[in-house]
């Protein structure tokens, strides 16, 4: 079975894990913005030697509560990005947000060796997260969040761990409906007004 190997050294032509901070913003016709998280050159070992290709990881979102990620591989960089973007658009999830700016509650997520902690934050905090996690939050439309990566720094593991945490986020209204209670029973009277104004995801 052919195996894929990362190429070390400076022969990547400047395209590698270090480019994760240079996210690309592009608007598509359906109001989705995509961000290029990382692109890496990979090699397929065959009988005659190695065949090089590029693997891209892209995050897309509408900045209104929907976000998705996808990976694509091709012989050329633009084609790899296109494949990753299309797969990300087919894998969108909806995440409930508190007041349209932060998470409802703290979450822990993991995928493989990647472990992340996501914490809701007061207004004005901003996005305190680095690398792949920042791309996810910006595409999602979250403005205030504190995030920490505890495990693997591999971009794929970090993004998948972040999505695992986001998929477990629940709004007070959905929790109340599931338990057969009122929102006031879940939150208390002070926060009920804000929760009632937020649409269900």
> What pLDDT was estimated at residue 191?
52
- Structural domains of the chain in order of their starting residue, each with its CATH number: 4-94 (3.30.160.20), 107-197 (3.30.230.10)
- In whole angstroms, what is the distance from residue 64 CA to residue 114 CA? 26
**Local structure of 187: helix, strand or coil:** helix
**Local structure of 161: helix, strand or coil:** helix
84-113 pLDDT, tens per residue?
999 999 999 999 988 888 998 899 999 999
> What pLDDT was estimated at residue 98?
87
157-201 pLDDT, tens per residue?
999 999 999 998 888 777 777 777 776 766 665 454 454 455 554
Q: What is the mean pLDDT of the chain?
A: 81
For 88-168, strand residue ranges (E) read 93-94, 107-111, 114-120, 127-128, 145-149
For 14-36, give the secondary structure using H, E and C. Answer: CCCHHHHHCCCCEECCCCCEEEE
Reply yes or no on whether the pLDDT at 131 is more than 80: yes
**pTM attached to this predicted model:** 0.74
11: Cβ contacts below 8 Å, ≥ 6 apart: none
């Amino acid at each position: 079975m052919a195996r894929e190997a990362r190429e070390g050294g400076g022969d990547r032509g400047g395209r590698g894990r270090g480019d994760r901070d240079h996210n690309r913003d592009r608007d598509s016709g359906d109001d989705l913005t995509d961000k290029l998280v990382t692109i890496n050159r990979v090699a397929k070992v065959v009988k005659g030697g190695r065949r090089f290709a590029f693997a891209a990881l892209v995050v897309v979102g509408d900045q209104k509560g929907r976000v998705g990620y996808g990976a694509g591989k091709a012989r050329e960089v633009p084609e790899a990005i296109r494949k990753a973007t299309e797969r990300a658009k087919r894998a969108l999830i909806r995440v409930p947000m508190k007041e349209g700016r932060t998470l409802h509650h703290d979450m822990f997520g993991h995928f493989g060796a990647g472990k992340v902690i996501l914490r809701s934050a007061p207004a004005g905090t901003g996005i305190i997260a680095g690398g792949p996690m920042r791309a996810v939050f910006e595409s999602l439309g979250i403005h205030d969040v504190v995030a920490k990566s505890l495990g693997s720094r591999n971009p794929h593991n970090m993004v998948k761990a972040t999505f695992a945490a986001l998929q477990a986020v629940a709004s007070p209204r959905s929790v109340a409906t599931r338990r057969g209670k009122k929102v006031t029973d879940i939150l208390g009277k002070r926060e009920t007004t804000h929760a009632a104004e937020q649409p269900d995801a």
